Amino acid sequence: MKKFLIFMLPLLLLKNLTFSGIDEDLQNYLQFYQKDPQNKEILLKIATLYKEKKREYTKAIDFFNLCISKEPDNYYYYFQVAECYKLRGRLDKAFDTVTNALFYFENNQKLKILYGDILFDMGMVKRALEIYLQLAEKIENSKELSKLYLRIGKCYLEVKNYKESENYLLNSLKIKEDSWTFYYLSKLYEEMKSFDKAIWAIKKAMAYRTKDDKLQKEIYTKKLAGLLYKKGLYLKENGDNTNALATFFQIVSNPNTKDTIYFEKANYWVKRLER
Examine the pLDDT at 28 and tell me if it is beyond 60: yes
pLDDT in tens, 181-196: 999 999 999 999 999 9
Examine the pLDDT at 37 and tell me if it is beyond 90: no
Domain count, the chain: 1
User: pLDDT value at position 11?
Assistant: 47
How far apart are alpha carbons 66 and 241 in whole angstroms?
65
User: pLDDT value at position 259?
Assistant: 87
Side chain identity at 13, as an amino acid letter? L
User: pLDDT value at position 213?
Assistant: 81
SS3 call for 212? coil
Task: Work out the pLDDT band at 59, boundaries 50, 70, 90.
Answer: very high
Task: Work out the pLDDT band at 32, boundaries 50, 70, 90.
Answer: confident
- The mean pLDDT value of the chain amounts to 91
User: pLDDT value at position 31?
Assistant: 86
Comparing 54-68, 104-118, 201-215, the range with the smallest average pLDDT is 201-215
Task: Work out the pLDDT band at 13, boundaries 50, 70, 90.
Answer: low
Tell whether 137 is covered by a domain.
no
Q: How far apart are the first and last CA of the chain?
A: 80
Environment class of residue 8 by beta-carbon count within 10 Å: exposed (0-12), middle (13-18) or buried (19+)? exposed
User: pLDDT value at position 1?
Assistant: 43
Most confident of 133-137, 209-213, 256-260: 133-137
How far apart are alpha carbons 174 and 180 in whole angstroms?
14
SS3 call for 161? coil
Q: Return the higher-pLDDT residue of 227 and 22.
A: 227
User: pLDDT value at position 5?
Assistant: 45
User: pLDDT value at position 131?
Assistant: 98
Examine the pLDDT at 205 and tell me if it is beyond 60: yes
Tell whether 213 is covered by a domain.
yes
Q: Are 162 and 170 in contact (CB under 8 A)?
A: no
Examine the pLDDT at 15 and tell me if it is beyond 90: no
Phi and psi torsions of 123, nearest 5°: 90, 5
Tell whether 60 is covered by a domain.
no
Task: Work out the pLDDT band at 3, boundaries 50, 70, 90.
Answer: very low
Tell whether 159 is covered by a domain.
no
Maximum C-alpha span of the chain = 80
Tell whether 223 is covered by a domain.
yes
Tell whether 219 is covered by a domain.
yes
Q: Are 70 and 44 in contact (CB under 8 A)?
A: no
Residue 172: HSE in the Cβ half-sphere, 13 Å Cα cutoff = 25
Residues spanned by the domain of 228: 202-275
Q: What is the mean pLDDT of residues 105-119?
A: 97
Q: What is the mean pLDDT of residues 204-218?
A: 88
Annotate 28-55 with DSSP letters as a single string: HHHHHHHH-TT-HHHHHHHHHHIIIII-
